[in-house]
Amino acid sequence: TRPPRFKDLGEHSIGIFIRELLQNSLDARFDDKSPVKIKIKIEDWDKEDIAGFFNLVGQDHLEKYSESYNYAITDVKPKMAAGQKLIKGEKKKTFALTIEENNCIGLTGSVKGIDRRSNFNSLIRKVDDNEAKKELSNSGGTWGKGSSVFVYSSELWMWFCYTLLSEPNNIDDGNFQHRRFIGRSILSPYYSQEIDKSYWGDGWFCKPDTDSFPYVNDEADSFAELFGLEKRSKEPGTTFFIPFFNTFLDSPNLGVVLKEFHDQILMNWYIPIYNEDLVILISDKKGEVYKIDKSYLFKIEQLKFKLEILDWYNNDCPPDENFIKETYDIEIPALKKDYINKNNLF
């Protein structure tokens, strides 16, 4: 059979990845008086980096991926080929992507399913067809992609997250959780004839001997450090780490990938940046490449007239021979009451 949301792979791109990431971060904004800050770091990985990462995750998962690849059905197997080449050492260059969001609430809520509105469970547990499951405001993300956008943006179908909660959580066992670390993966479901066992494809890098619960607090910090992530101690939010990042570009190199992130952000996200709701930093191993904030927008010639319209509108539309304000009545579908919040009420 096919893995969950396999059809999404045909739609994936850096633009779609950015769309899901930034909208979800804006929806999870913690302090409305400050912007959401996103740091995007893209790194080249060579065979030494790949081998080091494989040592971290262990051979068991890699062997399961290879088995899954060998048993995969016709249309799934080509999509797993890049991951299999990495495991076999046939692909020696790839990318790693780290995204650090700040001024967001973090992956709050129960990890055991005690509360239905758990941000943690909605992102970590669900990779199914959330487009038809909008009964909860945090189900599947604003665009219905959910965590599949992270899973399928890795050539090995895995990703990790490290979160600092805006409010400590003690709903599960009475012990306060401040920080959490967990990894998530998907395999193509298969049946192993050799050992007479079925694998449904869900995988977690998690605390041993639990029902896929995260490492918390000091343990979370330790694993974040092992994976090369900066310790979170101040602003709440989540750090996402995607090894073997699939750019979905024909001939990617680091410069092209950095520019694609830059261009997709400016093309579709200049309004929240202009309104100072969002600031984005894009960097590589050497440091900052772009800082995209309101002042940066005015350096972009293609945005000149759009920014003039925004300025005019934000100044209450004063008389101007270049602009005309007209009012239109538009009918739109109503949102369910439990989906309405401060970010989509207008």
Sign of the CA dihedral running 212, 213, 214, 219 = negative
Cα 40 from chain centre: 11
Give residue 340's pLDDT band: very low, low, confident or very high (50, 70, 90): low
Vertex 48 angle, CA 44 and 54, to 5°: 100
Please determine, for residue 140, whether its predicted confidence score (pLDDT) is greater than 90: no
pLDDT-based confidence at residue 138 (cuts at 50, 70, 90): very low
Judge contact between 174 and 150, C-beta under 8 A: no
pLDDT band at 344 (very low <50, low <70, confident <90, very high): low
The pLDDT tens digits of the residues spanning 187-225 come to: 998 888 788 888 888 889 999 998 889 999 999 999 999
Q: How far apart are CA 1 and CA 189, in angstroms?
A: 6
Helices 59-71, 47-57: axis angle to 10 degrees equals 100
Confidence (pLDDT) at 129: 44
Q: Band of the pLDDT at 185, cuts 50, 70, 90?
A: very high
Q: What single-letter amino acid sits at 115?
A: D
pLDDT band at 154 (very low <50, low <70, confident <90, very high): very high
